[in-house]
Amino acid sequence: MTRPSAAVLTSRPARQYRVVQWATGNVGLRSLRALIEHPAMQLVGLYVYSQDKAGRDAGELCGLPAIGVSATRSLDDIVALKADCVVYMPQNINVDELCRLLEAGSNVVTSRPEFALPSRLAPDVRERIEAACRAGNSSIHSTGSSPGFITEMMPLTLLSLQRRLDGLHINEYADCSSRDSPEMLFQIMGFGQAPNPQAEAGRVHYLREEFGPALRVVADAVGLDFDSIEARGQVALARNDIEIAAGVVKAGTVAALRTTVSGMRNGKPLMTFTANWFVGYDIDADWKLRGDGWQVEVEGDCPLDMHLYFTVPLERKAATTPGYTAHPVVNSVAYVCEAAPGIRTSAQLPRIIPDFGGAA
């Protein structure tokens, strides 16, 4: 396939793209369905990890009629398809398999955050990925809802109004009370438990590595530097017992988590991302929590304060929310296929415009 020297696609794709869905977890099943229904995509392959899914029809796995594409657990089968793009959504990345895909000429769009900023990768891993892209004339891009849409695409759009930036502050709000996942909420996230400094430190480190690179993408794009990336975490306790879908959060135990990742410049935060995750509002801290969604505040010569609410009814929340992560990945496929070879950041791709009508 002949490729341009830079990302040039600025409107509807001009052709059909042959795509593979890799993994069928909660988000993967949503992207699988979106790819099958997309007017400019042809699903040609599906990679799965569980033996009970192998051999099953891709359409039937995501609640659609059969389409004649069977799931496989063979990397060789996927490579042999020579697909234009692989939508890569495993729980953890595997550099060997990624290099096989890229060397074979298949572009990769992933919900994994590791490729949001090339410099975050270990030097040897980055060189392997970039060498594979050169060999296959292919590119790889990380995106999603958060990080992705709210940490890069939306801020860059809002900053197009500015000629001076004093601060960019993103707040994410996630009410977890309706999630019926006791192990996730109580054991992994620590709700309903006594404060645990070790667990808190682990969460702070994880989110620093997850969102720090996304903030750097924005800073680099607008010609600014950070002196450092810092992160801190807090917990708030329930004032009274709180009954949630997963059980009961007792009074005096953790009911809210707040983690802030800051890009520091000249001794103060220039850009911040704050994750506010909670299971109730009756807490011992004045955090001014609100419903699911995001707030983006821009301090500059054209100040802004934007609020985005998830308006999904509670009974449809579990079925709808995977789309927030899956759809930016699917909508990026055509742009990544037409991009210059290499690891491509959000700032290096054109504005992503979804195609609801089909190839021109």
What tens digit of pLDDT does each residue of 189-236 get?
999 999 999 999 999 999 999 999 999 999 999 999 999 999 999 999
Is the distance from CB of 48 to CB of 21 less than 8 angstroms? Answer: no
Phi-psi region of 342 (alpha: psi -120 to 50; beta: other; left: phi over 0): left
Q: What is the mean pLDDT of residues 140-151?
A: 97
> Is pLDDT of 265 > 90?
yes
Share of the chain above pLDDT 90, in %: 92
Sequence-distant (≥ 6) Cβ neighbours of residue 86 within 8 angstroms: 19, 20, 22, 78, 101, 106, 107, 108, 109
Convert the pLDDT of each residue in 48-89 to its tens digit: 999 999 999 999 999 999 999 999 999 999 999 999 999 999
Tell whether pTM > 0.75. Answer: yes
Sequence-distant (≥ 6) Cβ neighbours of residue 226 within 8 angstroms: 215, 216, 219, 263, 264, 265, 270, 271
Convert the pLDDT of each residue in 283-301 to its tens digit: 999 999 999 999 999 999 9
Q: Spell out the domains of the chain, with CATH numbers in brackets.
A: 17-144+322-348 (3.40.50.720), 162-301 (no CATH)
In whole angstroms, give the CA distance from residue 291 to residue 225: 33
